[in-house]
Amino acid sequence: MNRLDLTRTRWTNFLIRNRWPQFLIRAITLAGFIFTILAGLLGSVVGSHNFAIIFVWIAWWTALKLFFIPFGGRSWCSICPIPMPGEWIQNGGILQPRGKNFGLGKRWPKFLRGRWLQAGGFMLVGLFGVITLTSPSVTSIVLLIILLLAFVLALVFERRSFCNYLCPIGGFTGLYAQAAPVEVRVKNPEICSTHAQKSCYEACPWGVYPLALKSSANCGLCMECLRVCPSDNLAVNLRPWGSDLGPETKHSLDEAFLGLVMVSSALMDSAIFLGPWGQLKMAAYAIGTGSWFLFAGLFLVIALMLVPGIYTLAVWIANKLGEQKMNLRKALAHQSQVLVPLGLTAWIAFTISFALAKFSYVLPVVSDPFGWGWNLLGTVAKPWVGQSTLTSMLLQVIVLALGQFWSSRVAIKISGSLKQALPMIVFSAMTMVGMLWLLIG
């Protein structure tokens, strides 16, 4: 077990444990969030001149995929402004742990649990993606709805029900956090077993009991548990990438579905936003028209039938080739771990191609966030038209190859034999070739 516990170093321990640093960042992200909503509603309708579009879809979305998730797992959730207002009301204060709860504190209905709604939400974002990505006001309205929904749900349901079961971003970050190099874990399980109060569980906004944590998918890295533990028994570890993926971890069907939706979305977004097919883009944009329904149908067929179908076939063959047979349902869940490095690297490659080319838009909108002709910082200049240079393509090739390496390794690790891993390796190779073709073909 090669772990580096950040609570053992004085200054990192201070930064993590003290509520102020986190609160300050949260205050900034919340202010930024509200500013973004205002900019989108009041500012220029030209997307590339509006802070909302550039900040949400280029700066934040890129940072999430290239920085927060690969290096920090759910670290974004630790500073996310969306659940904050609701959580403050729930706790009856800002700088204190979960305690006497305001709100109804109902339990989230059983039949809505799991990752299904998150996956569905992500698919919806994909279906309406082109319009959200180009219209500042639509982006703002979506953000506003998310903020209000999280707030209202916090009043009705207990803890972070919105984050756990609805937030599409949470689905995305949670899935890939399993591959990330950060985890919160119990230092010594024996201490926990003698501690009847379970203060950490009581304090966890996510409803997680740290002793039972096997995977980082559901841990929002909020650090509440280690602030309340009387025995200082929680560690924040740096760990090798992909630590949660292996033969022993438990997985369920909804995770497979989420993983597949993410993979299909990476492929679809690459085709829509980076492909030469104008008809496709326009169909995706013209919501409500016949061509949009055609597009939506195509999207759903790919995301719900084609990709899951090929995946199921691969898992079925793998299962046939194995010595001990699982039932198909179990095998589908178990093999879904292959989708984690696969999807993560596919998204990173897409992001490199898509966003690096557009990054030159960021500075001008900081200087003129509403697109009203201001120049606050003197950084308004005509952004050069994005160029995906050779370096960027090489990077994409390398990232995709790393993804192939990584997902093949996971496939072999979780299978009984190399032979049994082959169908999954072929599945990830098909995805990778698809990405290669769309991005640099």
Residues at the site binding ligand SF4, with contacts judged by CB under 6 A: 76-77, 80, 82-83, 150, 163, 167, 169-170, 173, 220
Q: Considering only CA atoms, which of 27, 35, 38, 139 is closest in space to residue 84?
A: 27
CB of 76 to ligand SF4, least distance (A): 6
Minimum distance, C-beta of residue 81 to ligand SF4, in the bound complex (Å): 8
User: Hey, what are 60's tokens?
Assistant: 């934040």
Q: What is the token pair recorded at 165?
A: 């079961």
Q: 278 contacts which partner out of another protein, ligand SF4, none, CB within 5 to 8 A by kind?
A: another protein
Judged by beta carbon distances under 5 to 8 A according to partner kind, the member of another protein, ligand SF4, none in contact with residue 82 is ligand SF4
Q: Tell me which of another protein, ligand SF4, none is bound by residue 373, counting a contact when its beta carbon lies within the kind-specific cut-off of 5 to 8 angstroms.
A: none
Residue 48 contacts which entry, ligand SF4, another protein, none (Cβ below 5-8 A, type-dependent): another protein
Residues lying near another protein in the complex (CB under 8 A) are found at 46-48, 130, 134-135, 272-279, 281-282, 285, 357-358, 385-390, 393-394, 397-398, 400-402, 404-406, 408-409, 412-413, 418, 425, 429, 432-433, 436-437, 440-441
Distances, alpha carbon 101 to alpha carbons 158, 173, 204, 412, in Å: 9, 27, 13, 47
CA 354 to chain centre: 18
For the CB of residue 187, give the shortest distance to ligand SF4 in the complex, in Å. Answer: 25
With CA atoms as reference, report the closest residue to 250 among 222, 207, 210, 217.
Answer: 217
Q: Which is nearer to ligand SF4, 73 or 403 (CB)?
A: 73
For another protein, the closer of residues 246 and 297 by Cβ is: 246
Tell me the closest approach of the beta carbon of residue 349 to another protein, in angstroms.
Answer: 10
For 378, the 3-state DSSP assignment is: coil
Closer by beta carbon to another protein, 9 or else 289 = 289
Amino acid at 62: T
Residue 255 CB, nearest distance to ligand SF4 (Å)?
15
Backbone φ and ψ of 263, nearest 5°: -65, -45
Q: From the CB of 208, what's the least distance to another protein, in Å?
A: 31
3-class secondary-structure state, position 184: strand
In degrees and rounded to multiples of 5, residue 237 shows phi and psi of -100, 140
Partner interacting with residue 96 (select from ligand SF4, another protein, none; CB below 5-8 Å by kind)? none
Q: Quick one: 330 or 358, whose CB is closer to another protein?
A: 358
Nearer to another protein, 120 or 275 (CB): 275
Task: List the single partner that 387 binds among ligand SF4, another protein, none, CB under 5 to 8 Å by kind.
Answer: another protein
Could you tell which of ligand SF4, another protein, none binds residue 275, using a CB distance below 5 to 8 A set by kind? another protein
- Interacting partner of 402 out of another protein, ligand SF4, none (Cβ under 5 to 8 A depending on kind): another protein
The listed partner (ligand SF4, another protein, none) that binds 167, CB under 5 to 8 Å by sort, is ligand SF4
Burial degree of 217 (CB within 10 A; 0-12, 13-18, 19+): buried
Biggest CA pair distance of the chain:
68
For residue 236, the surrounding DSSP H or E stretch is: strand 234-238
Residue nearest to ligand SF4 (CB): 170
Output 49 or 74, the one with its CB closest to ligand SF4: 74
CB 154 within 8 A of CB 322: no
CA–CA separation, 44 vs 374, rounded Å? 12
Q: Which CB, 236 or 425, lies closer to ligand SF4? A: 236
Q: Choose between 221 and 338: whose C-beta lies nearer to another protein.
A: 338
The residue among 332 and 435 lying less far from another protein, judged by its C-beta, is: 435
- Which stretches within 160-245 are classed as H helix? 161, 168-177, 189-193, 199-203, 224-228
CB of 355 to another protein, least distance (A): 11
Which of the choices ligand SF4, another protein, none does residue 429 contact, using the CB cut-off of 5 to 8 A by kind?
A: another protein
Shortest distance (Å) from residue 389 CB to another protein: 6
CB 235 within 8 A of CB 184: yes
Distance CA 132, CA 178 (A): 28
Query: Could you please report the per-residue DSSP string of 107-137?
Result: PPPGGG-SSHHHHHHHHHHHHTHHHHHH-HH
For another protein, the closer CB: 257 or 361: 361
Q: Confirm if 197 and 233 have CB atoms less than 8 A apart.
A: no
Q: Which of 140, 126, 168, 389 is nearest to 264 (CA)?
A: 126
CB of 393 to another protein, least distance (A): 6
